[in-house]
Structure 1
């Protein structure tokens, strides 16, 4: 076979191989996104491989470390995190901008257990995510400073308090699950009242409805069942 013929064979073989590799990558990312959304970031790489229908060796060829997979799965979610902060800064009302940002990111946690975990953890090896996380943090500090300067946010509030809220909300989201899926809204509303400066109208804002006793009871049953399985 001529050199030109050998090169042609290599090119023709490389095309399907590249397509297969890309399909595997897409299946892995899709499976990981669904698994993380349902159960959080504690899902194992082996479980992701099983859901994707690929071998564990194939998964590690595409994503040598867990952080590489997390980087790929949550890139768009972290973009949404930054965009929520940008929307808050664009709001002419400093309190509405701050409160809207808080509600948006807590809503992201409620919609996706993986995001609930992601916003309360640090992954130094996931470099792209860390860059976006730092960008969102910078903007959230600007939102805090702006709301304080306007006299709407209590003077002793810090960005660490926002991190505490995200941790608490992640816990509520994980505990209430499908039984009381809107419970987080009441928690966030209460916290925003607590964050508001003394005498602010935000302290008297109407709260979302509380979960029904039956819904909370069902949530506690599910939480107890999960603990026993653990």
Structure 2
């Protein structure tokens, strides 16, 4: 009996070590990370890893599920215009995702039918609706912009983060590009100084 309890404790400890090591390796390397490297980083054999996680997807979901839950807790900042709130939300979210290659892989390579991606799209659409509702009062977003437009703009920025070699130095620039397509034209287009005739 004592031996069985010890085996269960060892199994729980091994699983926790695997998940912790996988979180680090997957964030650094993305979903293409070598499972043998994860096993070595966790201090277990590859057979032990596969006993706990029979497929790569099982392990990826164990790691990214926590990250997706954190993203699902995020929302628009409470104050500021709809455009300003989206600017802050987009910038912070993409900067965080840039440090997590596995999350970027999940969000950019998954099919829209994938459960994790669909949950994310549903949440981002709710955030988009919050921004659209706010814009009804401050008129900073174009009247034709929908909640889905906003959700897919963020997913598009995620793809940009995946492609750019140095996202941190360019994320603000690409957030501004995305916002210009969402903002009311009199706000998105800078006013030009009047010219005087000679």
TM-score under structure 2 normalisation? 0.76
Distance in 1 of aligned mates of 2:174 and 2:119: 26
Matched, 1:65 2:55: yes
What is the aligned partner in structure 2 of residue 43 from structure 1? 33
Distance in 1 of aligned mates of 2:95 and 2:85: 15
Q: Deviations over 1:183-226 (max 9, x none)?
A: 323322333244322111x655xxxxxxxxxxxxxxxxxxxxxx
What is the aligned partner in structure 1 of residue 162 from structure 2? 170
Judged with a 3 Å threshold, the aligned counterparts in structure 2 of structure 1 residues 153 and 84 are, in CA distance, closer, same or farther, namely same
What is the aligned partner in structure 2 of residue 142 from structure 1? 129
Matched, 1:13 2:21: no
What is the aligned partner in structure 2 of residue 196 from structure 1? 183
What is the aligned partner in structure 1 of residue 96 from structure 2? 108
Distance in 2 of aligned mates of 1:161 and 1:134: 11
Moved over 6 A (4+): 123-126
Instruction: Compute the displacement of 1:32 (Å).
Output: 0.9
**Could you say which structure has the greater relative contact order, defined with CA pairs below 8 angstroms and 6 or more residues apart?**
2
Structure 2 segments unaligned to the other structure (5+ residues): 191-198
Distance in 2 of aligned mates of 1:75 and 1:166: 17
Instruction: Compute the displacement of 1:23 (Å).
Output: 1.4
Structure 1 segments unaligned to the other structure (5+ residues): 1-9, 205-230
Alignment size in residue pairs: 185
1:38–1:113 Cα contact (<8 Å) kept: yes
Q: Deviations over 1:43-90 (max 9, x none)?
A: 1323322322222221111112222212221233112211222xx174
